[in-house]
């Protein structure tokens, strides 16, 4: 396995959206600076890759292509409910992050893997599909809608994982959010991902029981390694 396929893992635990965003931006900047330095000095490509796991405090985020009409509750009410709101630089529309939801932020130099954003998104989806399958839940893609769904081609379609990414010079940030034990009532304040008439769900909601967050993380890591032909390693040195 190529050494550039090594991915350093850091679990931020419960962390504010702003703090996690700053960490991502910092890591992305470090990788891009290293790439530019390598090319300037005609050195071989040698850049780090990272993946962050986090549970956020309640927050609603709007992607750069999002529609403000998909925020149903006004911002004053969100403040009263102690739900933060951020406009972000990721793709996609509006979504919610909060406790009980595993958010995964890969900060990868795709030149260490493949240079294909479409393939990258499909592999993120496949990581989640394989993970959910280990809980005897069948999930799938929905045509034209990035993310992972339960019963996507039926009137009972419900989204279990949202995906929104950004890439600069083939370096990624943002990622996916898998509802594990998430309080789904929070989604009543938005039109999730701007898709009207479809519900959201969680592993807990589907199985009618609480699920171990740590167990799900282990399975995600295993599937991520397999699909990206990578080696995930623990690493905390970049967190201040």
Q: Return the CATH number at 10.
A: 3.30.930.10
Structural domains in the chain (count): 1
Band of pLDDT at residue 219, cut at 50, 70 and 90: very high
Question: Is 222 among the domain residues?
Answer: yes
Q: Is residue 70 part of a domain?
A: yes
The share of the chain scoring above pLDDT 90, in percent, equals 80
Residue 27 has pLDDT above 60, yes or no: yes
pLDDT value for 64? 87
Specify if 240 maps to a domain. Answer: no
Q: Quick one: average pLDDT of 214-232?
A: 97
Instruction: Report the mean per-residue pLDDT for the chain.
Output: 92
Q: How far apart are the first and last CA of the chain?
A: 30
Give the max Cα distance, the chain: 57
Confidence of residue 1 (pLDDT cuts 50, 70, 90): very low
Task: Tell me whether residue 90 is in a domain.
Answer: yes
Q: Is residue 33 included in any domain, yes or no? A: yes
CA-nearest of 108, 118, 183 to 146 is 118
Is residue 214 one of the residues assigned to a domain? yes
The model carries a pTM of 0.93
* Cβ-contact 48, 8 below 8 angstroms: yes
239 occurs within a structural domain: no
Instruction: Using the Cα atoms of residue 151, residue 153, residue 157 and residue 162 in order, give the sign of their dihedral.
Output: positive
Q: How far, in Å, CA of 235 to CA of 228, rounded? A: 19
Render pLDDT for 94-116 as a digit per residue (tens, 0 to 9).
Answer: 999 999 999 999 999 999 999 99
Q: Which of 54, 193, 220, 230 is catalytic?
A: 193
For the cut 70, the answer to whether the pLDDT of residue 3 exceeds it is no
Q: Buried (b) or exposed (e) across 194-220, using 16+ Cβ within 10 A?
A: bbeebebbbbbbbeeeebebeebbebb
pLDDT given for residue 193 in this prediction: 83
Q: Residue 217: what pLDDT?
A: 97
pLDDT for the residue numbered 108 = 97
Q: What was the pLDDT predicted at 2?
A: 55
* Active-site annotation holds for 193: yes
Which domain range does residue 230 map to? 3-234
Strand order in the sheet with 94-97: 84-87, 59-62, 94-97
Task: Tell me the mean pLDDT in the region 150-160.
Answer: 93
């Amino acid at each position: 396995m190529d050494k550039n396929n090594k991915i350093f893992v850091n679990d931020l635990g419960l962390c504010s959206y702003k703090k996690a965003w700053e960490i991502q931006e910092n890591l992305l900047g470090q990788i891009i600076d290293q790439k530019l330095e390598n090319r300037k000095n005609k050195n071989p490509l040698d850049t780090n890759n990272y993946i962050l796991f986090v549970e956020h405090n309640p927050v609603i985020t709007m992607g750069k292509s999002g529609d403000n009409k998909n925020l149903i509750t006004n911002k004053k009410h969100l403040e009263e409910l102690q739900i933060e709101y951020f406009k972000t630089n990721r793709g996609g529309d509006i979504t919610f992050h909060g406790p009980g939801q595993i958010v995964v932020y890969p900060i990868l130099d795709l030149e260490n893997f493949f240079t294909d954003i479409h393939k990258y998104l499909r592999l993120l989806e496949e990581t989640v599909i394989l993970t959910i399958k280990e809980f005897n839940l069948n999930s799938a893609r929905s045509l034209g809608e990035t993310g992972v769904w339960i019963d996507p081609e039926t009137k009972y379609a419900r989204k279990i994982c949202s995906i929104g990414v950004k890439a600069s010079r083939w370096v990624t940030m943002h990622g996916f959010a898998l509802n594990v034990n998430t309080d789904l009532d929070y989604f009543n304040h938005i039109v999730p991902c701007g898709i009207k008439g479809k519900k959201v769900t969680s592993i807990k909601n589907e199985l009618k029981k609480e699920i171990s967050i740590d167990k799900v993380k282990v399975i995600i890591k295993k599937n991520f390694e397999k699909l990206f032909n990578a080696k995930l390693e623990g690493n905390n040195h970049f967190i201040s």
